[in-house]
Amino acid sequence: MNTDYILAIGMLIGVFSIPAMMSAYADERPPRASMAAFILALSLMVLAYVRQPGGYTLTDLPNVVVTVIADIIN
């Protein structure tokens, strides 16, 4: 799997896990599933960073997302 896809999937899971964690804290229940999703997201992003020669920078992230979306559409 391309490292761009791994990074984009990790960012997507991370974006969806943060509101789930906040909801769990607001309802005073343990955020087990959302925390597991957040850890999975972080591990996917670290995996993509390690596998990419030269790594990623913050300025690369929008290009990665647009490239993955364009690949999915085409």
pTM of the model as a whole: 0.87
pLDDT at 73: 95
The C-alpha atoms of residue 49 and residue 70 are separated, in whole angstroms, by 21
Give the confidence band of 19 by pLDDT, cuts at 50, 70, 90: very high
Contact status, residue 7 vs residue 48, Cβ threshold 8 Å:
yes
Q: How far is CA 65 from CA 6, 7, 8, 25, in A?
A: 11, 9, 6, 30
d(C-alpha 17, C-alpha 5), whole Å = 18
Q: How many CB atoms lie within 10 A of CB 67?
A: 15
How many structural domains does the chain have? Answer: 1
Section 15-20 average pLDDT: 95
**pLDDT value, residue 55:** 85
Containing structural domain, residue 39: 3-73
> For 23-66, what is each residue's pLDDT tens digit?
999 999 999 999 999 999 999 999 999 999 988 999 999 999 99
